[in-house]
Structure 1
């Protein structure tokens, strides 16, 4: 039935649709929604680099759009018969005839969107802004860059969950025991004040996140926690790594080279910090590197590199060596 009270407005999303369709075409219609969205976002995950999707003209073409929003747009195009999903356990995104008309500029794509954000979203955004302001104040007081207090992703989760006590706060990704002890009460007080001032309903307070909290990074063990402004440089890098930043992003934020960040991660591993080495090892390269190590030993990197193709990066070799050093030490 036609809804005459529908207050949503029609928005032209043709440009976004063309980017998505173009990316699917360049990926030869062989991958699912998640992989397409990651390429459009500009992810540099191992699988994307291995398939050389970072060389596509559409890689990162929607870097300013949240990943979930890209996925939602792809699903919208499926629902509107511009795309289709194949059958099977791992559905692949395919182009339909309507998509060809869009990419040629012969058809427009429109979508209805709400004119006004929900009160819940407005509350979340307002609290996020207040938490960022508090972080800025603490950063000035501590003479630290803001990201060393909490990352934006951590503040955003606080604004979604409304933690009201320490138990709820420690479950927030990126908090950890050290930061909870040092900054937790100030942020909790700001959240409590916001709740009282804005009449936030109790159902929103301490609400669970949809993601699995068991995957939350552990707190960083830092020997200089009472002198935060004297944290060793490689530990500062590790803090960002623990909060989910990619190596390239850490280099940009800290104004250092990618090589420096890689060195810092190795140093932290030698210090006993946990590093997920598989994140840095493309599928299929580990076995090749181990074969080379068996031939020339692990004392020097260059002899290993000379036995491998140019696609194998220096840091991948270091990652494999560190991974198996840790395995050997546990045995």
Structure 2
């Protein structure tokens, strides 16, 4: 099978003209019957790699997905695109399960989603053998490896698929797997000479920022105010923190809820559904949340606490901006978080795993403390080299200012020496700043030579300088001795051999804010106006999307993604042909929802540029008066007949002489206007269309509504 059919399916079902990097190569390998291991970042297009083969090859693709809610979400999304999909798991009753199985046996399904528990249960293999399977797709494949951060024992039994179905290709997919985990996936699934496809882990649409962990709640409130009505997730280490943060945000009038394993299943399900349907904008959650949803329009992610490792951090920030549109991520970092996580890990039962996790925590800490481009550090962890700085992280936006830090280093190292290397970082800062704490006086630290020698620097500054000295090797933290600071060989060179030390001057969040405001003021006024208008149209399109979603009973992002709405707001398509050219608009969605979005765009263009709108609309009327049919006008202007009628309806309302009754009779107008009185949502075109069982066209309904608005009907 060649890729032409695959590209046709990509446009038809998903609305995209081109494959993303590696997708075509992966699909080609599957068409050739080969196994594959695919590493792609969250939002990078992993699902398309098995969904396109599923709709173009005879038979059914069986997808193993670890969370029930994710299956439901993905199946709903596929059905919205016109693809036959179903799932089997413990959430459905025996009658529904039998119905799905019969569809599978009959070859009526393109994709069948199953849980790992279902797949390895007693007689399920015999059920699979009764249908025709074209592909096995193992999603979240890192769960198979004990080296991974999300190990699931059921995954280790999936090697039996090659034993029972040796001719069926297997594709294993994950967004987070280091080299050891990749090898484990291939070995345990018994993949035969698989193609290894590693996409770039770079998500340039995600901004990366790390801030100190002081006054987090105030910073979060300020952050959220800059993202009004946008969906976001705040990850917290404990249930109590999640509840406290959600409660305080709710007091500010924000739509926020806590989500964690301590809630009842029904409560968790309700919160998740409200978030998916944009009824709740903010979820304050433990790490249990997020893996079970495929919500593409999450616009920001905040980590209230430091994550345990970079794999988990990468996966969690990857839940923002899955549609490719701009999204923001913010990580709060404090040394207290590091100490707490170290204690949690060290109390684990598996000593070997503890050592692995401690090493991974250190890498996470180094990322948070870094003064180099954060994206380069993050990608380097996944064995990817970014040749230049990203320009979209806090370090790149505000490059550090280097200073001669020799005197600062000497004060700090001398203080460590004079307290006999017996105090942790917090107390050392108190000694340097001359704190009057009772404990310091009792230990006699108020009598040493360096007591109060650093009064001129804030606690925040000292914390930053000390962490730099640790990272540069001038100090080390004795984690096995209550995290006290110890001197190193390099320390002695600074203290006794006049070695100079270069440090980065810390800048407060407030200072960085002022710099960003100053940069924003330099933006040209015309560009700022264009952005404002585009944002206004985007908000209107988002409201149209939500109204349609409520009518259809599906999540808004399954109508169109934020990225698709942003492209609509930028291009302002005024015809169905132009709308089909917007990335993410496929044939079924164009037919189902296209007209409502076109109407919103037409109305916006008219309100912001009425002169331009009148000129283009009047051309349609002039051609009609010359005797051209609707079809001829549409062909001549490169638009749809429904768009021509929309022009005529608008002009009729604005007082132009339009032969409206040529396209809708007086009797039909009265029937339509009368029907509005029986309906709960009389302004909805779809509601009226359904009321007449499709016997009254959308065009006639729109013309009748225009007549009613002009004549008070």
Please report the TM-score for the alignment, with normalisation by the length of structure 2.
0.17
The structure where strand makes up a greater share of residues is 2
When normalised by structure 1's length, the TM-score is 0.34
> Of Structure 1 and Structure 2, which has the larger fraction of its residues in helix?
1
Structure having the higher Rg? 2
Q: RCO (CA 8 Å, sep 6+): is it higher in 1 or 2? A: 1
